[in-house]
Amino acid sequence: MMKILTIRIYIIFSFFIIVSLSSFSQGLVENDLSTNQVLVKKWNDLKMSLDLRASSIYDTIDLDTVKGFLDDFSYNSPYPDSALWLDNQVFVNRGYAKSPISVGAATFDGLNEKGYPYDFFVSSTSSSSADSLTSKPINLLNYINNGSPVNYLVSDSLYFSFFYQPQGLGNAPDLDDSLVLEFIAPGISSWKHIWAKKGSSLGATDSSWNLVMVPIKDIQYFKKGFQFRFRNYATVSGNLDHWNIDYVYLNKFRTKADTIFEDVAFVYNTPSLLNTYSEMPWKHYTPSFMKTSLPDLLRNNNSLQKNVNFYYKVYDQLGTAISSSVVSSDNVLPFSQIGYYNYTATSLPVFPVLTDTSSYTFECVLSTNPDKHKKNDTVRHTQKFLNSYAYDDGSAETAFGLSTLNAQMAEKFTSTIADTLRCIDIYFNPLLTNANLYAFSLNVWNDNGGSPGTAIYTSDTVHRPMYAQAGQDQFTHYYLYPPLYLNASTFYIGFTQKTTQFLNVGVDKNTNTQDKMFYNVTGAWNNSPFTGSLMMHPVFGIADYYAGIDSPDSKNKNAISVYPNPANDKLYINLNSDNGSEKISYSIIDLYGRAVLENKFDRAEYIDISSLAEGVYFIRIVDGIQVSTNKFIKIN
64 in any annotated domain: yes
pLDDT score at 545: 45
> What does the mean pLDDT of the chain come to?
85
In angstroms, the CA 162 to CA 165 distance is 10
Residue 9 clears pLDDT 50, i.e. is over it: no
Residue 409 clears pLDDT 70, i.e. is over it: yes
Q: Which of 237, 265, 293 delimits the end of a domain?
A: 265
Same domain, 210 and 140: yes
Confidence of residue 22 (pLDDT cuts 50, 70, 90): very low
Residues 564-600 pLDDT 10s: 888 888 888 877 555 455 667 888 887 655 678 888 7
Confidence of residue 474 (pLDDT cuts 50, 70, 90): confident
Same domain, 404 and 332: no
Residue 23 clears pLDDT 60, i.e. is over it: no
Residues 605-619 pLDDT 10s: 788 898 898 887 888
Task: Indicate which CATH number applies to the domain containing 469.
Answer: 2.60.120
* Stronger pLDDT, 259 or 603, i.e. the higher one: 259
Three-state SS at 12: helix
pLDDT score at 593: 59
Same domain, 142 and 241: yes
Residues 87-131 pLDDT 10s: 999 999 999 999 999 999 999 999 999 998 999 888 888 999 999
Same domain, 94 and 149: yes
DSSP H helical ranges for 276-380: 335-338
Residue 162 clears pLDDT 60, i.e. is over it: yes
Residues 362-371 pLDDT 10s: 899 999 988 8
Q: Which of 509, 541, 573 delimits the end of a domain?
A: 541
Task: Indicate which CATH number applies to the domain containing 246.
Answer: 2.60.120.260
pLDDT score at 311: 86
Local structure of residue 137 (DSSP, 8 states): P
Lowest mean pLDDT among 84-98, 152-166, 431-445, 610-624: 431-445
Same domain, 343 and 463: no
pLDDT score at 622: 77
Same domain, 598 and 520: no
Q: Which of 203, 231, 265 delimits the end of a domain?
A: 265
CB 273 within 8 A of CB 206: no
270 in any annotated domain: no
Same domain, 557 and 536: no
pLDDT score at 230: 98
Task: Specify the pairing of strand 61-62 against strand 138-139.
Answer: parallel
490 in any annotated domain: yes
Which residues contact residue 548 at a Cβ distance below 8 angstroms, ignoring those fewer than 6 apart? 562, 565, 618, 630, 631, 632
Residues 511-569 pLDDT 10s: 999 999 999 999 999 999 999 999 999 999 864 444 433 333 333 444 577 888 888 88
Same domain, 215 and 306: no
Q: Which of 116-125, 234-243, 467-476 has the highest mean pLDDT?
A: 234-243
Query: How many percent of the chain have pLDDT more than 90?
Result: 53
In angstroms, the CA 571 to CA 549 distance is 13
In angstroms, the CA 255 to CA 525 distance is 58
Radius of gyration of the chain (CA): 28
Same domain, 378 and 451: no
Task: Indicate which CATH number applies to the domain containing 620.
Answer: 2.60.40.3080
In angstroms, the CA 326 to CA 310 distance is 6
Same domain, 224 and 363: no
pLDDT score at 554: 35
CB 493 within 8 A of CB 411: yes
Predicted model pTM: 0.79
393 in any annotated domain: no
18 in any annotated domain: no
Same domain, 586 and 464: no
Confidence of residue 460 (pLDDT cuts 50, 70, 90): confident
Task: Indicate which CATH number applies to the domain containing 344.
Answer: 2.60.40.10
* Stronger pLDDT, 350 or 61, i.e. the higher one: 61
Three-state SS at 545: helix
In angstroms, the CA 438 to CA 161 distance is 48
41 in any annotated domain: yes
The total of structural domains in the chain comes to 4
Average pLDDT over residues 15-41: 66
- Print the domain residue range for 376: 282-385
274 in any annotated domain: no
Same domain, 456 and 576: no
In angstroms, the CA 612 to CA 631 distance is 14
514 in any annotated domain: yes
